[in-house]
Amino acid sequence: MIPSIEILIPKNLNEVLGILSNQDKNFKIIAGGTDVVTGLKQESNRFINTEVLVDINRIAEVKGIEKRNGKISIGAASTFTEIYTNPIVSSELPILKKAVATIGSLQIRNRATIAGNFVNNAPCADTVTALLVYNATIEIESTNSKREISLQEFLQGPYKTQLKKDEIVTRINIPVPPKTFVGDFYKLGRRQAVAISRITFAVLMELNGNKINEIKIAAGAVTPIGTRFPELEKYAAGKEANNDFIKSLASKLGEEIIKLTGLRWSSEYKLPVVQQMFYQMLKRITKK
C-alpha cells in the first residue's frame, strides 16, 4: 500500500531543479503516475524509499510539441494522447504514432507521458524502439548542467538510465526524417489492449528502387532493454531487398537477439515469432 508521502507542485522548471538539487531527500518525479503510483503500491524497490513526489504537470517547459530547426521537439511530460493527436507527429513520425497507439488503454494514454516510458526503462517500454530508429536525443537539466544525449546512450540497463538524482528529462528531440524514409512498428502482447509488450520492434529505412540505402532497426522486450542493431544495419546497407536477403536479415536478427539475451524460458516462443514477424514487416515495407 502507498505510504504517506509529501507531494510538491512546483510552477516552473527552475523550481523543479531547485527542489531536485536538495540531496538530502529521495525525490521521485511524477507526471502521469502510471508507473510511480503502481510502483509505490506494489512496494517496488525502485520506489519504496521515495520521500517526496515532485509533480511536473504544471511545468510549461516540459510540455508541448513543436517543430524547429529540422527537429521535432516533444515535451517530456507530453501524454501519449497529446502525441497521438498531434498533427506534426501524425505527418512526420508515423512509427512513433503507431507505437503510441498500442500503449495500454485510452485512460492510460491520457495520463502516461513519453519520458516516463523510457525514464522507467522497462524492457517492454512500447515507444523506445520507435524513438531509437528516429535517432531521438534527450535534453537533461539540473541546476548546474544542461546536456543532450542520444536515447540509446541514456538507456543503460533494465530499469537503469544515466539520469542523476538532481536531473530531469525536459525534452525529446527527433530529427525530421526525410520523406524518402519508410518504416513500421510492431508490437505483440497477450491481448489487443492493456497489454504489456512481449515483443516490439521498429524499422526505418530508405530504399533506392529495391536497394536498401540505409536501415535502422530496433527491438524491445526480446532484449534486456530497447536497443538498436548496428551490425545488422551495416550488413543490410547497400543490399538488394529481395526475398532471400530479407529472410537472411530476419534470421540474423534472431542471431543478434540470442547474442544479447541468451536463451531464456520465453525464447522458445519469442525467437521464432520475432524472426517471422520481422520478415513479415520487411516484406510489407519493401512492397510499398
**Nearest to another protein of 20, 249 (CB atom):** 249
Which residues from 26-55 bind another protein, rule CB under 8 A?
A: 35, 38-39, 42-46
Measured between alpha carbons, how far is 137 from 132 in angstroms, rounded to an integer?
A: 9
- Is residue 262 classed exposed, middle or buried when 0-12, 13-18 and 19+ CB atoms within 10 A define those classes? exposed
Least Å distance, CB 61 to another protein, is 29
Least Å distance, CB 260 to another protein, is 13
How is the beta sheet containing 137-142 ordered, strand by strand?
65-68, 71-75, 168-175, 137-142, 145-150
Q: State phi, psi for 192 to the nearest 5 degrees.
A: -85, -10
Least Å distance, CB 161 to another protein, is 14
Lookup result for grid cell 510539441: 65
Which residues from 120-149 bind another protein, rule CB under 8 A?
A: 122-124
Measured between alpha carbons, how far is 15 from 20 in angstroms, rounded to an integer?
A: 9
| Closest to 148 in 3D by CA, of 69, 33, 92, 82 | 69
Residue 192 is a binding residue for another protein (CB under 8 A): yes
Residue 196 is a binding residue for another protein (CB under 8 A): yes
Which residues from 222-281 bind another protein, rule CB under 8 A?
A: 244, 247-248, 250-251, 254-255, 258, 263, 265-269, 271-273, 275-277, 279-280
Adjacent-strand bridge partners of 148: 139
Interface residues with another protein (CB under 8 A)? 1, 3-4, 35, 38-39, 42-46, 105, 122-124, 158-159, 188, 190-196, 198, 244, 247-248, 250-251, 254-255, 258, 263, 265-269, 271-273, 275-277, 279-280, 283-284
